Amino acid sequence: MLALDPAFLAVQALSGLSSASSLFITACGLTIVFGVTRIVNFAHGSLYMIGAYTAATLVPRLLELSFGPVTFWAGILASAIIVGLIGVIIEVLLLRRIYGAPELFQLLATFGIVLVVQDLVVQVFGPQDILGPRAPGLRAPVEILGRRFPSYELVLIAAGPIVLGLVWLLLRKTRFGVLVRAATQDRDMVASLGVNQALLFTGTLFLGAFLAGLGGALQIPRVSANTGMDLSIIAEAFVVTVVGGMGSVPGAFLAALIIGQLQAFGILIFPKSTLVVVFLLMAVVLAIRPHGFFGRAEIVGGTHAVGIASRSPLPGRHFILLVVIAVLAAFPLVADAYLLKVATEILIFALFAFSLQLLIGVGGVVSFGHAAFFGLGAYGAALAVKWYGVSMEAALPLGLALAALGAGLVGAFVVRLSGIYLAMMTLAAAQILYAVAFQWVEVTGGDNGIVGVWPSSWASGPIPYYLLTAALTVVAVLLLKRIIDAPFGYSLRAARDSESRAEAIGLKVRQHRWLAFMIAGAAAGLAGGIYAFSRGSVDPSLLGISTSVDALTMLLLGGIQTMMGPLVGAAALHGLRDWIMPLTPLWRLLLGLSIIAMVLIFPRGLVGTVRDWWGART
């Protein structure tokens, strides 16, 4: 058998080591930045991508000067330094302003940078993938046990430990390093000792971005620089830092080694699903050690969760509700087919965002992978139609049930965690499902997804389907609102406000959160199912990070502290997208900038801001 051939095993192990090295260099920067600033920097993958693009553009020009092989390495280093400076710019312009913000806002703001960079990279470097030059002197493969192995990979294998050694020296032997380690252990103490924090944080961002850029630049002889690099590396880098323990450099090294080997040999066991294996590792490690190998529980208690607070019931709320229902019902009288389609989608996303509000706004549980349940609902319904030929009436509840089941499973893992680990774990869960949908082509249709998911005849056509969507959304939102106002919702809020107090009055916090996951998952699954039938198809992007971020953006846009915020946010975001996207190729740039602006200027969202303004007037 192939797998037992020692030469094959050796080469496989070596290539595992080389990808571990690359992964470590990048993840090391992420973990150092987290250690000092406590920000999980989504844009780290973007810095990696900029590093690759810069090197792939810069190095060939330098090689033309023909100063020999040294120019190649000088180019790599220069690219990393350029990326380091970009990191400094990001720190000064954005991160500096959000160190004290709730972690959800931090994650979203740095994701805003991801969106901005995606469009900027295309503008600066062009839409084509760029394959960099091979390293001079390392073009010929070497023979290992009779098999050919690229010699550049051997350099990469060495690069990881070299970077580890240099970072270790930097952290142990320099004043900057002492401060970084001190800040990682106790940021407040360092602040009260009179250390120039601004300089420390800027320096840390330079180091982190430099390492991301170096990681990306070193890739150019292996893979061409492309626009998908950012999200694929950030997912892996997250796994490495989380498994290693956030803030721990040796932890990241160990985790990268394990993951490199797992990827190299995972191919032999699950040929198509290395991603699944990697994320499963993370799930298992977090289930056993909730803070990774070398991570510690956050000493500074409280995740400073923001969320909805008690308000007295609005006078005339029944009347308002009737008006809203009447307007929704009368809308088809004035709208054309296109507007109805937009309205249908807005309603679907409103339900999706509202289901997330139960977790985040009510429960303080920052789920970064809510797309998982939206996608499960959509795929559940679509698979039921495709494989069992059931009608829409049966497929929708099946999708909902699958989503609730998936949420129950994910929730069982996740409710033991807190803060950033929980966010990362939910993200991982969504990525696992994304990988399954993408790679299990026989069942899910892979990248193409499943087509031919049409509603029953009584509900087909823009008007009937709009009315069905409106009815289901209104009923589901009212049910959720009822639950939020009931003791169950209050218990979730109690656990969010003060976990120790909630336990001291006998609340079973984990059990409540687990149930909340299933309810939110079921509602998101219903939204997903309706969405599948509205488009007639499903594809893996429904499970992707950007779908999760869409829901979070709607929440943020509408206002996390308000019950109705997500509904308004869904309308605003979807409306804007429909209006602006056809006008400009820079939609992601605009969206990214708006997310950042919202975090900085309107953290209370549209509804919250209007309410505050109204409250100040009266």
Partner 1 sequence: MTLLAVNGLHKSFGGVVAARDVSFTVARGEMLAIIGPNGAGKSTVFNMVGGQLRPDRGQVLLDGQDITHASPQKRFRRGVGRTFQVAQTFLSMSAAENVQMALISCNRQSNGFWAPARERHRDKAVGLLSRVGMAEAADTPCSALAYGDVKRVELAIALAGQPKLLLMDEPTAGMAPRERAALMDLTGSIAEAQGIGVLFTEHDMDVVFGHAARVLVLLRGQIIAAGAPDEVRQDEQVKRAYLGDARALEPLRGGSPA
Q: Which of 168, 488, 587, 602 binds partner 1 (CB under 8 A)?
A: 488
Q: What is the CA radius of gyration of the chain?
A: 25
Q: Work out whether 503 is an interface residue with partner 1 (CB under 8 A).
A: yes
Q: How far is the CB of 497 from partner 1 (least distance, A)?
A: 4
Phi then psi for 335, rounded to 5 degrees? -100, 150
Nearby residues of 68 by Cβ (< 8 Å), 6 or more positions away: 136
Q: Report, in this order, helix, strand and coil percent for the chain, each rounded to 5.
A: 75, 0, 25
Q: Which of 370, 512, 513, 604 binds partner 1 (CB under 8 A)?
A: 512
Going residue by residue from 463 to 482, which x/- string records binding to partner 1, judged by CB under 8 A?
A: -------------------x
3-state secondary structure 380-412: HHHHHHHHHCCCHHHHHHHHHHHHHHHHHHHHH
Q: Work out whether 500 is an interface residue with partner 1 (CB under 8 A).
A: yes
Q: How far is the CB of 488 from partner 1 (least distance, A)?
A: 5
Q: Which of 357, 491, 547, 548 binds partner 1 (CB under 8 A)?
A: 491
Q: How many CB atoms lie within 10 A of CB 524?
A: 34
Residue 456, phi-psi category: left (phi > 0), alpha (psi -120 to 50), beta (remainder):
beta
Q: How far is the CB of 481 from partner 1 (least distance, A)?
A: 10
In angstroms, the CA 147 to CA 316 distance is 78
Which CB atom, from 175 or from 317, has the smaller least distance to partner 1? 317
Q: How far is the CB of 306 from partner 1 (least distance, A)?
A: 9
Q: How far is the CB of 362 from partner 1 (least distance, A)?
A: 10
Q: Work out whether 485 is an interface residue with partner 1 (CB under 8 A).
A: yes
C-alpha to C-alpha distances, 411 to 296, 490, 517, nearest whole angstrom: 22, 19, 6
Q: How many CB atoms lie within 10 A of CB 615?
A: 8
Q: Which of 156, 190, 328, 483 binds partner 1 (CB under 8 A)?
A: 483
Which CB atom, from 228 or from 302, has the smaller least distance to partner 1? 302
What does the block give as tokens for 135? 């390293």
In angstroms, the CA 68 to CA 52 distance is 21
Nearby residues of 246 by Cβ (< 8 Å), 6 or more positions away: 31, 34, 35, 40, 291, 292, 295, 420, 421
Q: How far is the CB of 472 from partner 1 (least distance, A)?
A: 19
In angstroms, the CA 451 to CA 459 distance is 18
3-state secondary structure of 148: strand
Choices 38-46, 138-146, 259-267, 506-514 (CB under 8 A): range interacting with partner 1: 506-514
Q: Which of 314, 327, 441, 486 binds partner 1 (CB under 8 A)?
A: 486
In angstroms, the CA 426 to CA 241 distance is 15
Q: How many CB atoms lie within 10 A of CB 301?
A: 11
Choices 374-382, 389-397, 493-501, 551-559 (CB under 8 A): range interacting with partner 1: 493-501
Which CB atom, from 218 or from 306, has the smaller least distance to partner 1? 306
Q: Work out whether 515 is an interface residue with partner 1 (CB under 8 A).
A: yes
Q: How far is the CB of 522 from partner 1 (least distance, A)?
A: 13
Q: Work out whether 237 is an interface residue with partner 1 (CB under 8 A).
A: no
Q: Outline where DSSP puts E strands in 139-289.
A: 142-144, 147-149
- For tokens 């000493």, the residue is 299
Q: How far is the CB of 490 from partner 1 (least distance, A)?
A: 4
Which CB atom, from 129 or from 503, has the smaller least distance to partner 1? 503
Going residue by residue from 31 to 70, which x/- string records binding to partner 1, judged by CB under 8 A?
A: ----------------------------------------
Q: How far is the CB of 485 from partner 1 (least distance, A)?
A: 5
- For tokens 């990696």, the residue is 48
Q: How far is the CB of 484 from partner 1 (least distance, A)?
A: 10
Q: Which of 504, 583, 601, 616 binds partner 1 (CB under 8 A)?
A: 504
Site residue total, partner 1 (CB under 8 A) = 31
Choices 21-29, 441-449, 491-499, 594-602 (CB under 8 A): range interacting with partner 1: 491-499
Q: Work out whether 493 is an interface residue with partner 1 (CB under 8 A).
A: yes
- For tokens 């929730």, the residue is 411
Q: Which of 123, 391, 501, 597 binds partner 1 (CB under 8 A)?
A: 501
Choices 175-183, 496-504, 533-541, 589-597 (CB under 8 A): range interacting with partner 1: 496-504
Determine contact, residues 561/569, Cβ cutoff 8 Å: no
3-state secondary structure of 196: coil
Going residue by residue from 309 to 338, which x/- string records binding to partner 1, judged by CB under 8 A?
A: xx-xx-------------------------
Q: Which of 507, 580, 593, 600 binds partner 1 (CB under 8 A)?
A: 507
In sequence order, the β-bridge partners of residue 130 are 225
Helical H runs in 38-150?
A: 44-64, 70-93, 103-125
3-state secondary structure of 451: strand
Which CB atom, from 36 or from 515, has the smaller least distance to partner 1? 515
Q: Work out whether 416 is an interface residue with partner 1 (CB under 8 A).
A: no
Q: Which of 265, 490, 587, 602 binds partner 1 (CB under 8 A)?
A: 490
Number of residues in the chain = 618
Q: Is the dihedral of CA 387, 390, 391, 396 positive or negative?
A: negative
Q: Work out whether 615 is an interface residue with partner 1 (CB under 8 A).
A: no
- For tokens 């493969």, the residue is 141
Q: Which of 498, 575, 584, 585 binds partner 1 (CB under 8 A)?
A: 498
Helical H runs in 450-541?
A: 462-485, 487-497, 499-504, 509-535
In angstroms, the CA 255 to CA 243 distance is 6
Choices 161-169, 188-196, 308-316, 365-373 (CB under 8 A): range interacting with partner 1: 308-316
Q: Work out whether 526 is an interface residue with partner 1 (CB under 8 A).
A: no
Site residues (vs partner 1, CB under 8 A): 307-310, 312-313, 482-483, 485-491, 493-494, 496-498, 500-508, 512, 515
